[in-house]
């Protein structure tokens, strides 16, 4: 193994002195701004809204009850360190030795070559990896904890371990250290300026800037597929897109995105827009654009989202096209609404209004909902409900922080290093612009969703949920169904999505795509990325499905299109927005999507 001293030049003493004065000034300003913003925000009656203290006290008690296990764990750690010291010493003496532990090749925290080539930084990296591995193993092997407590401890331990990575600190990150010497500390001054701006933008909460927000504008260079808003309710606008083919499939296609995010994740750019691609395949595409609710909509319920959202959209599509049955896609929470609405329509005997149902990374059975369950215990729900009761909505910043914590190294710490330690501006990236354009949640709807779906998992149980006076049983649904999950999804784990195969009675196909909740869905054929798996059978266990599945290269979009085209009847002349009984209200993407929460 080669060794390399990191190429660091000595700083200009005068410039360094000036920058340290500026750093001290910015730091003082930062602390004062934060203190002012937090005045009156801490609830003395509930200092631990996450209920972490009780969880970690219980874990500590159970660990102390088995002293021999503690001794064994300590010896295991010392053996690991002894191996590291031996390996490091041999390397410092000029010998090639195998590392005690290797970083995951996909771990971008240690991508700088100094982490491998410089013996000191390599030692720091390996020491951290061994310690992180040991800590996480200890909390994962504590006996006697209930599942929710164990999951919470593992999740927040991982957050702590990620936060303590040497890459997050100036003196233990070779790239940052070099930048600091090269610029005489100018990077740290710029980093503090960036942090102060983010703190002020978030009104006291650190809203990390993930992309250049000035480089994008909805309707100008994102969400630009041509169409018209043809209907609207207080909760949504319905967009009908202009055709690009002379003939279109007779049966229209309605897309219902989640109201946690904006719909244009499916219409970022022409070359990765699922909406444009579906139009080009000959679909008459309609998309729901949800409102960004404020206090005036605080009492809107899950039932309202069904009636003023999906059902109103179905009515409008029928009016516009004359077709009584529609193919419907539900993305994430939009898919949960789709399943609930289908159950409600089945109870009324009107389920044929939906000719086929496609679920993009959507759960209706929340038993294996993953790390999001960490935030759904009784104590946290009560705290969240009290906050929503006061404000009328769940603040968009809270939702964004929750989702970012699921992938903290990618969506938090990488930007801390880039923006605050290296003092750089984030790269313009349309997907991260969309990710920053989050929405609020009405208190009534969100309370019902979190309790009935996540906490109690009632939607998947026969008769578990009642909507508008009708009891829902998803097991009675026989609508042709395709379920699309993604293998690395942190929000809707693929095994949780798969559970629906054991619920629906009709034809049900499951497709597993590569990558995660967003990239695995927004994967155009031209990109030739990720791949996907199919299996004609739906065994009871998800792992058994994957074990006998067939792997395919490229995008799953054509596979879905072949399936949906068979359920779309014949071809008819292309339908232009406003050409039917619905007259255009305004150009796409409409005004609802342009309302920003932050």
Closest alpha carbon to 209 in 24, 17, 436? 436
How far apart (Å, rounded) are the C-alpha atoms in residues 424 and 422?
A: 6
Closest alpha carbon to 233 in 144, 306, 320? 306
Are 327 and 253 within 8 A, CB to CB? yes
Please identify which residue in the block is written with the tokens 């650190």.
Answer: 206
Q: Give pLDDT tens digits for 562-583.
A: 999 988 778 999 999 988 899 9
pLDDT at residue 21 tops 80? no
User: pLDDT class for 44, splitting at 50, 70, 90?
Assistant: low
pLDDT at residue 32 tops 90? no
User: pLDDT class for 49, splitting at 50, 70, 90?
Assistant: low
Q: Percent helix, strand, coil in the chain (nearest 5)? A: 50, 10, 40
Chain-centre distance of CA 314, in angstroms?
28
Q: What is the pLDDT of residue 5?
A: 46
User: pLDDT class for 558, splitting at 50, 70, 90?
Assistant: very high
Q: Mean pLDDT for the chain?
A: 89
Q: Where are the beta strands (DSSP E) in 104-172?
A: none
pLDDT at residue 35 tops 60? no
358 sits in which H/E element: strand 354-360
User: pLDDT class for 72, splitting at 50, 70, 90?
Assistant: confident
Tell me which of 57-71, 76-90, 398-412 is least confident. 57-71
pLDDT at residue 129 tops 50? yes
Q: What is the pLDDT of residue 360?
A: 98
For residue 337, count other CB atoms closer than 10 A to its CB: 23
Q: What is the pLDDT of residue 1?
A: 43
* Structure tokens, 384: 């969240």
Q: What is the pLDDT of residue 150?
A: 84
Are 79 and 87 within 8 A, CB to CB? no
Helix (H, G, I), strand (E, B) or coil at 354: strand
Which of the residue ranges 197-211, 337-351, 365-379 has the most confident prediction, judged by mean pLDDT?
337-351
For residue 343, count other CB atoms closer than 10 A to its CB: 25
Dihedral of the CA atoms 358, 438, 153, 46 (nearest 10)?
-130
Q: What is the DSSP letter of 522?
A: S
Long-range CB contacts for residues 519-522, cutoff 8 Å, separation at least 24: 519/431, 519/486, 520/361, 520/486, 520/487, 520/488, 520/489, 521/265, 521/266, 521/274, 521/331, 521/360, 521/361, 521/484, 521/486, 522/265, 522/266, 522/268, 522/272, 522/274, 522/431
User: pLDDT class for 112, splitting at 50, 70, 90?
Assistant: very high
Q: What is the pLDDT of residue 43?
A: 57
Which of the residue ranges 29-43, 373-387, 530-544 has the most confident prediction, judged by mean pLDDT?
530-544
Are 506 and 478 within 8 A, CB to CB? yes
Q: What is the pLDDT of residue 438?
A: 87
When comparing pLDDT for 369 and 255, which is higher? 255
How far apart (Å, rounded) are the C-alpha atoms in residues 60 and 279?
A: 57
Q: Which residue out of 150, 208, 320, 332 is catalytically annotated?
A: 332
Residue-wise burial string across 225-238, b where 16 or more C-beta atoms lie within 10 A, e elsewhere? bebbbbbbbebbbb
Are 342 and 310 within 8 A, CB to CB? no
Long-range CB contacts for residues 462-471, cutoff 8 Å, separation at least 24: 465/340, 465/343, 467/302, 467/303, 467/306, 467/340, 467/343, 467/344, 468/303, 468/306, 468/307, 468/344, 470/344, 470/347, 470/348, 471/347
Q: What is the DSSP letter of 218?
A: B
Tell me which of 104-113, 120-129, 203-212, 270-279 is least confident. 203-212
Domain with CATH 3.40.50.1820 in the chain: 227-398+434-594
Q: What is the DSSP letter of 581?
A: S
Q: What is the pLDDT of residue 39?
A: 52
pLDDT at residue 370 tops 90? no
How far apart (Å, rounded) are the C-alpha atoms in residues 258 and 418?
A: 30
Q: Which CATH number fits the domain 227-398+434-594, given the four candidates 3.40.50.300, 3.40.50.1820, 2.40.110.10, 3.40.640.10? A: 3.40.50.1820
Query: What are the residues facing 249 on neighbouring strands?
Result: 571
First to last CA, the chain: 50
Mean pLDDT of 229-239: 98
Backbone angles phi, psi at 506, to 5 degrees: -85, -170
Is 483 catalytic? The answer is no
Q: Where are the beta strands (DSSP E) in 425-475?
A: 441-442, 465-467, 470-472
Are 166 and 124 within 8 A, CB to CB? yes
When comparing pLDDT for 383 and 297, which is higher? 297
Q: What is the pLDDT of residue 2?
A: 46
How far apart (Å, rounded) are the C-alpha atoms in residues 387 and 399?
A: 13
565 sits in which H/E element: helix 557-565
pLDDT at residue 344 tops 70? yes
């Amino acid at each position: 193994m080669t060794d390399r001293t990191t190429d660091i030049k000595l700083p200009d003493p005068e410039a360094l002195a000036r920058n340290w004065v500026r750093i001290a000034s910015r730091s003082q300003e930062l602390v004062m701004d934060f203190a002012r913003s937090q005045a009156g925000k801490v609830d003395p009656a509930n200092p631990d809204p996450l209920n972490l203290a009780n969880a970690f006290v219980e874990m500590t008690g159970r660990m102390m009850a088995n002293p021999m296990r503690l001794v064994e764990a300590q010896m295991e750690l010392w053996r690991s360190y002894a191996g590291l010291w031996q390996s490091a010493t041999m390397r410092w003496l000029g010998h090639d030795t195998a590392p005690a532990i290797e970083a995951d090749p996909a771990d971008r925290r240690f991508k700088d070559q100094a982490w491998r080539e410089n013996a000191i930084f390599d030692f720091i990296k390996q020491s951290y990896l061994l310690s992180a591995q040991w800590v996480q193993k200890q909390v994962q092997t504590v006996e006697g904890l209930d599942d929710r407590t164990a999951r919470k401890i593992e999740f927040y331990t991982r957050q702590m371990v990620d936060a303590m990575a040497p890459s997050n600190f100036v003196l233990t990150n070779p790239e940052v250290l070099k930048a600091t010497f090269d610029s005489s500390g100018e990077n740290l001054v710029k980093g503090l300026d960036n942090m102060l701006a983010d703190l002020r933008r978030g009104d006291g909460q650190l809203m990390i800037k993930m992309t250049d927000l000035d480089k994008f504008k909805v309707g100008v260079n994102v969400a630009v597929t041509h169409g018209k808003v043809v209907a609207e309710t207080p909760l949504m606008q319905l967009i009908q897109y202009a055709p690009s083919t002379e003939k279109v499939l007779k049966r229209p296609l309605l897309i219902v995105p989640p109201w946690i995010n904006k719909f244009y994740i499916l219409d970022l750019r022409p070359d990765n827009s699922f909406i444009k691609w579906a139009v080009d395949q000959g679909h008459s595409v309609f998309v729901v654009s949800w409102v960004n609710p404020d206090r005036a909509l605080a009492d809107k319920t899950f039932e309202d989202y069904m009636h003023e959202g999906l059902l109103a959209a179905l009515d409008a599509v029928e009016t516009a096209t004359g077709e009584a049955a529609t193919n419907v896609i539900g993305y994430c929470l939009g898919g949960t609404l789709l399943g609930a609405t289908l159950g409600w329509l089945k109870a009324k005997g009107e389920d044929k209004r939906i000719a086929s149902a496609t679920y993009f990374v959507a759960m209706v059975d929340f038993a294996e909902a993953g790390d999001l369950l960490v935030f759904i215990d009784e104590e946290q729900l009560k705290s969240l409900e009290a906050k929503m009761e006061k404000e009328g909505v769940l603040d968009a910043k809270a939702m964004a922080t929750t989702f970012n914590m699921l992938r903290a190294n990618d969506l938090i710490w990488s930007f801390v290093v880039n923006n605050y330690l290296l003092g750089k501006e984030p790269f313009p990236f349309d997907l991260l612009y969309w990710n920053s354009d989050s929405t609020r949640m009405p208190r009534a709807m969100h309370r019902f969703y979190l309790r009935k779906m996540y906490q109690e998992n009632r939607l998947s149980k026969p008769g578990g949920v009642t909507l508008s006076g009708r009891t829902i049983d998803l097991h009675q649904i026989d609508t042709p169904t395709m379920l699309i999950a993604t293998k690395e999804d942190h929000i809707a784990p693929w095994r949780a999505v798969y559970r629906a195969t054991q619920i629906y009675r009709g034809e049900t196909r499951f497709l597993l795509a590569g990558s995660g909740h967003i990239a695995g869905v927004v994967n155009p054929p031209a990109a030739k990325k990720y791949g996907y798996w199919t299996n004609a059978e739906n065994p009871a266990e998800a792992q058994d499905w994957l074990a006998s599945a067939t792997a395919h290269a490229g995008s799953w979009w054509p596979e879905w299109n072949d399936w949906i085209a068979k359920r779309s009847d014949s071809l008819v002349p292309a339908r232009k927005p406003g050409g039917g009984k619905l007259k255009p209200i305004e150009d796409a993407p409409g005004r609802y999507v342009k309302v920003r929460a932050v």
